[in-house]
Amino acid sequence: MGKEENILSVKDLQTSFFIDDGSEVKAVDGVTFDVPKGKTIGIVGESGSGKSITALSILKLIDNPGKIKGGQILYKGDNLVDYNERKMRKIRGNQISMIFQEPMTSLNPTYTVGEQISESYKIHQGLGKKESKRKVIEMLKLVGIPSPEKRIDQYPFELSGGMRQRVMIAMALACRPEMLIADEPTTALDVTIQAQILELIKELQDELGMSVIMITHDLGVVAETCDYVAVMYCGKVVEYADVRTLFKNPRHPYTVGLLNSLPRSDVDQEELIPIKGTVPSPDEMPTGCRFAPRCPFATEKCHNELPELEQIGLGEQIRCWIYTDEWTGDPEVKVYEP
């Protein structure tokens, strides 16, 4: 990082859901990360870690009873948190676009592919029928859909999952946004199609020079596509590093646990090592480090006090007591240090 220009900086973002009985669920609790221009950043985490809510917060698509409670979302220096709905609409789809997990349900079944993609042009550029049709065909070609002139009049149900995801991407990129948020874009697809879609996103990124936020729970996808990674756990970023460092030198015990639980082709393994325990439910969130109850190295301090996200080395950030001067546990734990 360092000298690179950030197109988006999320600083201490807090998004909560306020339940009827007066309780508050902190889905995103102080998330901080940067997206350098033209790069891909991965947000990894288990279900419920707040990664999708982070993405929706960036576009301010959080519905009642959810609310962005605090923090900043700096897009090209402007704080999107202060934007009103009208200004946000100009950003959505035009500057920052989003594609969703489920290509089956993300397209309106009552409109043709062409009609849906041209929505972007109608909304942001006010183009007429003929002009937008030409652009839609161009867009379908760009996302690698064969014979676009024919596809344009087809309905979503006539397309396969992979094709639909391509249509979704075409819709999202129609106005050439500078940033794409991909919320688990490949989760619902076959492995072979997954590879194709990831490849397509990468190609388009190079071609259009956009930045990408890739939200996933699949570390394989991260390794394949991302430049930087933010690992999230229970609404907080626990580790932020560039992708090579993260895979070579994971520091946070949670990241280490995630990597250990993956099958590897280079090591002969009898068994995978799971992370013990389960993600705590929002109403019984630990007071200290969120990961402490499952962490094999946790000390008294870990259970009682929440560590800050600290800068470690070049562009690496970590939220763990082990890497602070205050660490009182086993000094041997720092074996992960390079």
- Shortest Cβ distance from residue 136 to another protein (Å)? 14
Q: Does residue 250 sit in helix, strand or coil?
A: coil
- Element of type H or E holding 87: helix 85-91
Choice from 30, 93, 144, 185 touching another protein (CB under 8 A) = 93
Q: Is 221 in the site for another protein (CB under 8 A)?
A: no
Report the interhelical angle of 129-142 vs 161-173 (nearest 10°). Answer: 120
Closer of 112 and 249 to another protein (Cβ): 112
* Residue 155 is a binding residue for another protein (CB under 8 A): yes
Decide whether 158 or 308 has the Cβ nearer to another protein.
158
CA distance readout (Å), 294 to 49, 88, 185, 286, 302: 15, 40, 29, 11, 11
Amino acid at 57: S
Q: The tokens of 161 are what?
A: 């999952």
CB of 143 or CB of 258, closer to another protein: 143
Peptide bond into 177 cis (omega under 30): no
- Of the residues 153, 206, 308, 337, which one makes contact with another protein according to CB under 8 A: 153
322 binds another protein (CB under 8 A): no
**Range 113-142, binding another protein (CB under 8 A):** 119-120, 123-124
- Strand runs (DSSP E) across 19-95, as ranges? 24-36, 40-44, 66-75, 78-79
Q: Count how many Cα atoms sit within 13 Å of the Cα of residue 335 in the half-sphere of its side chain.
A: 6
157 near another protein (CB under 8 A): yes
Site map (CB under 8 A) of another protein, residues 1-40, x = contact: ----------------------------------------
CB of 72 to another protein, least distance (A): 21
CA distance 221 to 186: 9
Residue 91 touches another protein, criterion: CB under 8 A:
yes
Contacts to another protein by CB under 8 A:
59, 61, 63-64, 88-94, 97-102, 104-110, 112, 119-120, 123-124, 153-155, 157-158, 160, 168, 171-172
